[in-house]
Amino acid sequence: MSNLFDLLVAGLATGAIYALVAVGFTLLWQTSQTINFAQGEFVMLPAFLMLAAMHVGAPLWLAIILGILLSMILLGLAFKLLLVDPMMRHGVLPLAIATMALAIGIKEAVKQFFSAEASPFPSIVPTGDISILGHAVSLQSIGVLVVAILAVVGLTTLLNRTSLGHQMQAAAQNPTVARIIGVPVERMILLTFLINAFLVALASLLITPIYLAKFSSGEVLGQAAFIAAIVGGFNQVRGAIAGGLLIGVLDNLAASYVSTQYRAAVPLIFLIVVILFRPQGLLGRAEERTL
């Protein structure tokens, strides 16, 4: 049984990171119908930006701040202005394909300018254990969970409790009416891109100490988060969170109780079942758009 407890904690910690990335998927889809297939690479890149900052002599805290800011400029602002806006006019599918191209571009660029080999990445949480209910739980897992939960709570408070959040909701639900009542829709959409960039940078900071910084590490993450978003409900932030946690736990349980070879298949099978029997996702509502 102690094994099950460990698996649940580890799964929740990984799942919390998937959730952060999945929430970003949902945000972009809601406000601008962007399916970002480069989302995994968006998680991989900030770690390298932080490493580059450390390489030129910045201490860890400064590198983290610089990394997050640079991510918001590159993966938020520049991504929207240079790729999403011009491609959007051609429809959802060309845009989705353009993000696939972007994913390849980012991967190859990191490989070219940094290294094809993995690099170590410092952890912001100290190593060590604390005892919970008689089980040793690693501080790293707890740190990841706490940071991810704080980020999600912060985001939902912003969306549901503040005027800015309400304007974002309005811009997502009905842009035309939102414009009529004076909501700066374009600015709200840009804001969601910046929030997405912030979330992926945070996810990068949390996952890279465990997975190591490598050009290809976004592939697994992007796929897991995409599945999480669909399973939870692509049109609900809370769906993406639930989906992320669920996929994280499922993945760990599958690796332990089914087999490591088939661990990647189990979330996919789950995805198919969800699509067949509840296409709007576990928490999603059909034909509804809300943040």
Query: CB of residue 269 vs other proteins: minimum separation in angstroms?
Result: 17
Nearer Cβ to other proteins (119/173)? 119
Query: CB of residue 148 vs other proteins: minimum separation in angstroms?
Result: 16
Nearer Cβ to other proteins (209/233)? 209
Query: CB of residue 154 vs other proteins: minimum separation in angstroms?
Result: 26
Nearer Cβ to other proteins (216/290)? 216
Query: CB of residue 202 vs other proteins: minimum separation in angstroms?
Result: 18
Nearer Cβ to other proteins (31/208)? 208
In the chain, the N- to C-terminal Cα span, in Å, equals 38
Query: CB of residue 281 vs other proteins: minimum separation in angstroms?
Result: 24
Nearer Cβ to other proteins (24/218)? 218
Query: Where along the sequence are the contacts to other proteins (CB under 8 A)?
Result: 2-3, 6-7, 10-11, 14, 116-120, 127, 129, 136, 138, 140-141, 209-212, 214, 216-217, 220, 251-253, 255-256, 259-261, 263
